[in-house]
Amino acid sequence: MIAHAILAAKKSKYIDRIVVSTDDPAIAKVAVKYGAEVPFVRPTELASDTATTLPVLQHAVTHVEKHDKFKPDLVVLIQPTNPLVRKDDIDGAIEKIIATKTNSCFTVSEISQRPEWMYDLNNKKPKLFLASSSETKRSQDLPKLGIINGSVYVIRYNTLMKNNLIRDDANTSIYLMPKGRSVDIDDNLDFKIAEALMEYDEDK
């Protein structure tokens, strides 16, 4: 999966360096094979199941600043659990943050399962999760909504390193990705869906 993320990043018009953060020698080997840098081994405290993405990104930026004197204007996070991402998605998110002059940009996909029609399963009696929801509305009359798909995040240096944010909700923008490229692999079913979509090339 990491190879797909690296190959998409290599095709980007804007990305200068591709750095992979990992503590796994096998992943590091694959990353180097496909053209990424692995200039450090991710510290143990940042490689646990409870570690969050923010300190991992900050560690990577701090490392290249200290050792290579390289300070990025924008930090682009491309997650390998979203293997269907393309260069167009990466470049689109980068262009969006620049055009809107926002502090962050992230990719979303339009939803088809409406929150207005969802029920809270923790109640003994059926209860709509959104109290103001109306099931009588037609789907075409409801506002278009997008959900974070986890594919690409673009963050300005100060937003990440000084404000400790990956997504600045007070000043952010979004980039809409096609639903067919928005598979976030969390389990085996997601993996099978991604495999099936990969076999279908929509550009053919």
Please, are residues 39 and 22 in contact by the beta-carbon 8 Å criterion?
Answer: no
* Mean local confidence (pLDDT), 107-136: 80
Name the percent of the chain lying above pLDDT 70. 89
d(CA 126, CA 173): 36
pLDDT class of 201 with cuts at 50, 70, 90: low
Please, are residues 19 and 60 in contact by the beta-carbon 8 Å criterion?
Answer: yes
- For 59, 127, 185, 196, the CA distances from 25, given in Å and listed in that order, are 18, 49, 22, 29
Whose tokens are 């405290």? That residue is: 45
Query: Would you identify the CATH topology of the domain 2-107+151-199?
Result: Spore Coat Polysaccharide Biosynthesis Protein SpsA; Chain A (3.90.550)
Please, are residues 26 and 38 in contact by the beta-carbon 8 Å criterion?
Answer: no
- The residues spanned by each domain of the chain are 2-107+151-199
pTM of the model: 0.85
Per-residue pLDDT tens over the stretch 85-110: 899 999 999 999 999 999 999 999 98
d(CA 123, CA 102): 40
Please, are residues 174 and 146 in contact by the beta-carbon 8 Å criterion?
Answer: yes
pLDDT class of 122 with cuts at 50, 70, 90: confident
Whose tokens are 């789907």? That residue is: 139
**Helix 2-10 to helix 87-100 angle, to the nearest 10 degrees?**
60
